Amino acid sequence: MVVYIVLYTCLAGFILLFLVYYYLTHSHCPRKQLEGEETCVFIENGQKKSLTLEKWSTSDNIQITVIVPAYNESKRIGNMLQETVDHLEKYYRSSSSAGQRRWEILIVDDESKDTTVNAVLEFSNKLDLRDHLRVCSLKRNRGKGGAVTWGMLYARGQYAIFADADGASQFSDLELLFKNMPPGPRGGVVVGSRAHMVNTAAVVKRSFIRNFLMHCFHKLLQILGIREIGDTQCGFKLFSREAYQSIFPRMHVEGWIFDIEVLTLARFFGLPIIEVPITWHEVGGSKMTLLKDSISMAIDLLVIRLNYTFGIWERPSAKRIT
């Protein structure tokens, strides 16, 4: 009887390990690009036109590419774009007057069900942004991480930043991120941070359950050894060209927790990561389902840790930067 118990226990353990391994190797494979997703649209002289994008068609006269992932953001993205364009035009006014395109915005619409694309194109037409603003529509929803990754693969700037469509981060703080970009040809990653706001009204007035889950998430990060960055999830991160071209082709996670894999890969590559406090405010209309997405994030966090720890996902070295 004891022998059978041991055999069944070993068999159950083997099956469990196999299922865990299968889940780790098959659950987080980035979706392949679908036909037509490489085509973007823009407005020129009031007419919608299309253009086929090329991955990393770098341009020395574009300093910054702004990636904005968007899902059902027709009501919020206008204010964010207005603030973004106002700052970029002011910041690059001298360059623009010389006829140089110093900035571009790439909206990645993640299969929105509303009129997000039309809202962006109307905004572009109103301000005549044909040389600056492009819109790409994914044919199937990928999640925030997947949309950001997709956008980064088509960035052309010397630097690229992703910014949330809700406008919660003050876009003029881009200057703070630029000032803290590590010097040298490699550059690095500069992370906008809300960690300094933990005891402010913007955080305290949140619901008890939201703050509780936030603290649980931070504790899990510490347990898994991710302690260097106080705020990993802020949607305002700046990358040098070498950083974004090294990190994003190797991404696996496409959900909310993708920031963790971004920072993990940056650390593997030996890229400096700098955290900078920014101005941030709460904006209603979040797309997160609090409890469901919190559980999903915790699972994804474990998947990232286990896959890189056991070598299931290739762990790049600092010497291997392409």
Q: Are 136 and 235 in contact (CB under 8 A)?
A: no
Two tokens, residue 105: 């915005």
Does 18 share its domain with 91? Answer: no
In the prediction, which pLDDT does 97 show?
45
Domain presence at residue 163: yes
Does 136 share its domain with 66? Answer: yes
Q: Determine phi and psi for 69, rounding to 5 degrees.
A: -75, 135
Q: Average pLDDT of 34-47?
A: 86
Does 14 share its domain with 88? Answer: no
Domain presence at residue 316: no
Q: Average pLDDT of 225-234?
A: 83
Q: Domains in the chain: how many in total? A: 2
Domain presence at residue 321: no
Threshold 0.75, pTM exceeds: yes
Query: Is residue 137 over pLDDT 90?
Result: yes
Q: Please give the helix or strand (H or E) that residue 309 lies within, else none.
A: helix 290-309
Does 24 share its domain with 64? Answer: no
Domain with 13 in it:
1-30
Does 114 share its domain with 145? Answer: yes
How does residue 317 score in pLDDT terms, banded at 50, 70 and 90? Answer: confident
pLDDT in tens, 4-13: 677 767 777 7
Q: How far apart are CA 154 and CA 40, in angstroms?
A: 11
For residue 276, give the amino acid letter. Answer: V
Query: Is residue 162 over pLDDT 90?
Result: yes
pLDDT in tens, 285-299: 777 777 787 888 888
Domain presence at residue 318: no
Question: What 3-state DSSP class applies to 271?
Answer: coil
Does 145 share its domain with 283? Answer: yes
Domain presence at residue 194: yes
What CATH number has the domain bearing residue 238? 3.90.550.10
Select, from the ranges 42-46, 55-59, 290-294, the one with the highest average predicted confidence (pLDDT).
42-46
Domain presence at residue 206: yes
Q: How far apart are CA 193 and CA 232, in angstroms?
A: 8
Residue 50 or 7, more confident: 50
pLDDT in tens, 62-116: 999 999 999 999 999 999 999 999 999 998 875 544 456 689 999 999 999 999 9
Find where tokens 């956008």 sit. Answer: 151
Domain presence at residue 63: yes
Domain presence at residue 315: no
Does 258 share its domain with 297? Answer: yes
pLDDT mean across residues, the chain: 86
Q: Average pLDDT of 297-321?
A: 83
Does 175 share its domain with 206? Answer: yes
In the prediction, which pLDDT does 129 show?
94
Handedness of CA 62, 75, 174, 213 (dihedral sign): negative
Residue 217 or 253, more confident: 253
Does 10 share its domain with 42? Answer: no
pLDDT in tens, 165-202: 999 999 999 999 999 999 988 999 999 998 777 666 55
Does 165 share its domain with 185? Answer: yes
Percent of the chain surpassing pLDDT 90? 51
Does 267 share its domain with 300? Answer: yes
Does 98 share its domain with 198? Answer: yes
